[in-house]
Amino acid sequence: MADMNEFSLPVRLFLAAYPWRRINPVPFAASRKPLKDCRLALVSSAGLVAPGQTPFDEDFRGGDFSYREIPNDTDLSLLQEFHRSDSFDHSGLKQDPNLVLPIDRVNELVTRGRIGSVNHRHLSFMGSITAPGRLMKESAPAAARVLASDGVDVALLVPV
Amino acid sequence: MCNQTVSLISAEVERNGICTVVIQLLREPAVKVRPPRALLVPFRHGYPLDAPEAPDRQHQVIEACLQMLESAALTAPALREYKASY
């Protein structure tokens, strides 16, 4: 498992005092149909941006809380990464974006009949958000409405 | 921070009636933030699906996530540890 020792001392000290936000109450949607009939979407926090999209702002105080829509038919090799953290090894996701946004993998699951379909778009956040107030009040609810309007049944969320 | 970020997003998605599962790389934020369904994986930061260019390993992690979505016995917040089969 990853652990705090991967981080520099200043980052460890920051995290030791950090007030993690507590979800309360914890929502829990009931599964209404088998996965073979479900539409799946991905949400990644790797800060990936598709060609022509505005990069995430690495200087945004508290962390850029906006998101980008990544088309399911995007060429993964053309995605650019704008995650501002230097606390993890970025080389794996640069080698294979499926490591953090597994578009190829979930489309393979449709071919195998494991899930019904993959949504026509996925969502990309830049996860280094230390002040998540506007994420919680603005962009996360907006992102959730996007997925609901698309008829998404299940979502897989992937941090880095 | 990424672990908290995806957890907070998952709560909003879940409030819209969509079942979610989040991958978590650190135990502390998974326990303290409490996403609805979380799979705690034994990989280092930057490698949530195990390894690059390793479709079979990536599929194993995703399958573990899907099984959480299918499990009727889970109650929120559900936290499960991933164990690779290789």
pLDDT tens digit string along B22-77? 999 999 999 999 999 999 999 999 999 999 999 999 999 999 999 999 998 999 99
> What's the rounded mean pLDDT across residues A114-131?
96
Q: Dihedral of the CA atoms A81, A122, B68, A30 (nearest 10)? A: 140
Domain ranges of chain B: 2-81
Write down the pLDDT at residue A1: 61
- Of A2, A96, A106, nearest to B45 by CB-CB distance is A2
pLDDT category of residue A81 using cuts at 50, 70 and 90: very high
Cα B57 from Cα B54, distance rounded (Å)? 6
* CA of B10 vs chain A CAs: smallest distance (Å): 7
Cα B86 from Cα B77, distance rounded (Å)? 28
- Give helix A140-149 / helix B2-15 axis angle, nearest 10°: 50
Quote the radius of gyration of chain A (alpha carbons, Å): 17
Q: What's the pTM?
A: 0.96
The closest of B45, B44, B42, B31 to B64, measured between CA atoms, is B42
Spell out the residues 6+ positions from residue B85 whose beta carbon is closer than 8 angstroms to its own.
B60
What ipTM was assigned to the predicted interfaces of this complex?
A: 0.98
Spell out the residues 6+ positions from residue A14 whose beta carbon is closer than 8 angstroms to its own.
none
**B28 contacts on A by Cβ (under 8 Å):** 4, 15, 20
> What's the rounded mean pLDDT across residues A87-115?
96
